């Protein structure tokens, strides 16, 4: 997306995020990371900027951004600090699911708070015994009066400790000779029976909480069921995860852009054999490859966002974008460490952190092998194959 494609308001939003990153964020990252201090002041500024309302319609107090602009904002935010992008990612997926499938009451109840950041959203999908195979989950919503009793154990919940509202995938009790069916439920974390039991310590993203959440016979009213119709959980989730994959892809592009920028700056300053190392052909070749990888990742991510925005079928191209952008980000981050030499392995340098963080993008929002499966299965159809020029 070129700036010329943006409206005046959209340019103002992107400009405000860019200034926030450059003026308020970059200088604080190393201190906050080393101190292990949650960036509450920056989160408060994100709320004031409306960044928690990126995917919330304007009617409910959000920015209601087009998908292409949403992706552009995520890239800029991640280019500054990937941790801040992670606070917004799954939150925006929850907001998108409610704004797309929620009842009028659900929208009125949750969307204004999600837009302001008063509510923080998280996705509760993965279970200890069921990772990428979500149809194997055991979390169950059983009938209880006119509502449900939800019992589930959800793990690797990003932003789960800070979240106030969770979008939970659960199955309904099996009926003989019928396939199990699944629904999404809106669960407030303050509900009796909900507890955070484990906090996971990760290779990167130390200031993004990742937890295990137990739900023990949590009593849910009928209006906790997203869209008020049982058995629609998987179609709703698969569509909402397209937004999540685009957000991850855009964040990976932002990380890659940051890594390339750091490598270029270091190469222009570091002197070896009498000249700065950016004058050595080996380093020039490496920087050229990094730039090419970055542009390819950015272009496929923007195309996925464009298709999503147009209302077209997006699961194949969004899976491609997520896979390609995260693989390229990992390669670019590694190359940036190589350009830095021994300094790239020292925590005082940004590229050391980026190298650790890049790996997560190949895992989150479905591992890249799962995204390859999504692509391969969609190749059996003709719609997206024709659009992508993959038919004979």
DSSP string, 285-333: HHHHHHHHHHHHHHHHHHHHHHHHHHT---HHHHHHHHHHHHHHHHHHH
Say how many C-beta atoms besides its own lie within 10 A of residue 373's C-beta.
14
Q: Which of 75, 328, 365, 384 is catalytic?
A: 365
What are the CA-CA distances from residue 184 to residues 71, 199, 321 (Å)? 25, 24, 26
Q: Is 245:321 a contact under the CB 8 Å cutoff?
A: yes
Q: Which of 50, 387, 99, 145 minimizes the C-alpha distance to 239?
A: 99
Can you name the residues that pair with 186 across neighbouring β-strands? 167
Dihedral sign (CA 183, 189, 190, 193)? positive
212-240 in b/e burial notation, b at 16+ Cβ within 10 A? bbbbeebebeeebbbbeeeebbeebbebb
22 a catalytic residue: no
Nearest CA-CA partner of 60 in 21, 24, 110: 110
Residues in Cβ contact with 58 at an 8 Å cutoff, skipping those fewer than 6 apart: 64
Longest dimension (CA), the chain: 79
Q: Tell me, what DSSP letter sits at residue 334?
A: H
Residues with a known catalytic role? 365
């Amino acid at each position: 997306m070129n700036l010329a494609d943006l409206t005046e308001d959209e340019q103002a939003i992107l400009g405000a995020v860019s200034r926030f990153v450059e003026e308020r964020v970059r200088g604080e990252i190393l201190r906050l990371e080393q101190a292990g201090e949650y960036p509450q002041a920056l989160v408060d500024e994100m709320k004031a900027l409306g960044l928690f309302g990126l995917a919330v319609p304007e009617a409910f107090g959000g920015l209601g951004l087009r998908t292409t602009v949403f992706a552009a904002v995520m890239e800029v935010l991640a280019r500054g600090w990937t941790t801040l992008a992670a606070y917004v990612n799954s939150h925006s997926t929850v907001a998108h699911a409610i704004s797309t499938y929620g009842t009028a009451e659900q929208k009125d109840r949750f969307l204004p708070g999600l837009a302001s950041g008063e509510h923080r959203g998280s996705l509760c999908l993965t279970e200890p015994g069921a990772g990428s195979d979500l149809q194997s989950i055991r979390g169950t919503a059983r009938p209880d009066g006119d509502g449900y009793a939800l019992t589930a154990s959800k793990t690797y919940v990003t932003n789960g400790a800070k979240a106030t509202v969770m979008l939970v995938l659960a199955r309904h009790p099996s009926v003989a000779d019928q396939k199990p069916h699944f629904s999404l439920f809106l669960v407030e974390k303050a509900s009796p029976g909900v507890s955070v039991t484990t906090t996971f310590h990760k290779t990167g993203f130390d200031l993004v909480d990742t937890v295990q959440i137990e739900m023990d016979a949590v009593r849910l009213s009928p209006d906790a069921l997203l869209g008020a119709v049982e058995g629609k959980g998987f179609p709703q989730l698969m569509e909402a995860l397209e937004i999540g994959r685009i957000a991850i892809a855009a964040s990976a592009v932002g990380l890659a852009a940051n890594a390339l920028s750091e490598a270029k700056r270091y190469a222009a300053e570091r002197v070896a054999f009498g000249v700065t190392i950016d004058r050595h052909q080996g380093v020039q070749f490496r920087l050229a490859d990094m730039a090419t990888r970055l542009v390819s990742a950015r272009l496929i991510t923007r195309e996925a966002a464009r298709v999503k925005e147009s209302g077209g079928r997006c699961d194949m191209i969004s899976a491609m974008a997520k896979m390609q952008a995260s693989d390229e980000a990992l390669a670019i981050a590694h190359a940036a460490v190589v350009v830095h030499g021994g300094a790239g392995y020292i925590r005082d340098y940004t590229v050391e952190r980026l190298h650790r963080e890049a790996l997560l993008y190949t895992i989150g929002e479905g591992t890249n092998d799962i995204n390859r499966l999504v692509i391969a299965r969609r190749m059996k159809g003709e719609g997206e194959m024709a659009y992508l020029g993959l038919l004979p």
